[in-house]
Amino acid sequence: MTALPDDFAEERAAATERERGTWRERLRARYPTWTSGLVRGFEVGDGWREVAEDFCRSLDDRLGGEATCPDFRLTQVKQKFGLIRIYFENANSKSLPVVEQVIRCAEDRSRTACEVCREPGSLIERRRYLRVACPAHEHVSFSL
């Protein structure tokens, strides 16, 4: 039997390389099934590390672990319109309300934490681009 070609092999490899040795790699190792759909990995800054870690832990606690929801997949964890955005697939009628609630909680936390350093921050617009930053990082260009 031949394995199906992975259309995202290059992106997966790039993400694996980028995340090597970081909290992102460790977080994916802790939840290998749920994060297996994260083709581009955790696409958020270090300031949101706790937001991402607590999100996964809450999901784990409230859903009863990966074995209880083996089909559930995170598909994207990234910043969009300034806040953390978490996309997923294969939630069922039982897990969906929990997942949505835990995601809302993560979004709310990201609203007040600088994505660079996690110090208190606020949503700012700079050159028509929204992000959450503390005063120290308000004018600092930021990319992963």
End-to-end CA distance of the chain: 38
CB-count burial class (<10 Å; 0-12, 13-18, 19+) for 1: exposed
Nearest CA-CA partner of 85 in 121, 59, 55: 55
Residue 105 binding Zn ion, by CB under 5 A:
no
Which member of 15, 51, 103, 116 binds Zn ion (CB under 5 A)? 116
The distance of closest approach from Cβ of residue 10 to Zn ion in the complex, given in angstroms and rounded to an integer, is 32
| Minimum CB distance to Zn ion smaller for 48 or for 88 | 48
Q: What is d(CA 105, CA 61) in angstroms, rounded to the nearest whole number? A: 15
Q: Which stretch binds Zn ion (CB under 5 A): 3-11, 32-40, 75-83, 119-127?
A: 119-127
The distance of closest approach from Cβ of residue 69 to Zn ion in the complex, given in angstroms and rounded to an integer, is 34
Amino acid in the structure at residue 143 = S
Q: Indicate if the alpha-carbon torsion angle 7, 13, 14, 19 is positive or negative.
A: positive
Residue 131 binding Zn ion, by CB under 5 A:
no
| Minimum CB distance to Zn ion smaller for 36 or for 122 | 122
Asked whether 128 and 111 are in contact (CB, 8 A), the reply is: no
Residue 86 binding Zn ion, by CB under 5 A:
no
The distance of closest approach from Cβ of residue 93 to Zn ion in the complex, given in angstroms and rounded to an integer, is 40
| Minimum CB distance to Zn ion smaller for 69 or for 133 | 133
Q: Which stretch binds Zn ion (CB under 5 A): 52-60, 75-83, 113-121, 124-132?
A: 113-121
Q: Cβ atoms within 10 A of the Cβ of 19, count?
A: 19
Residues that bind Zn ion (CB under 5 A): 114, 116-117, 119, 134, 137
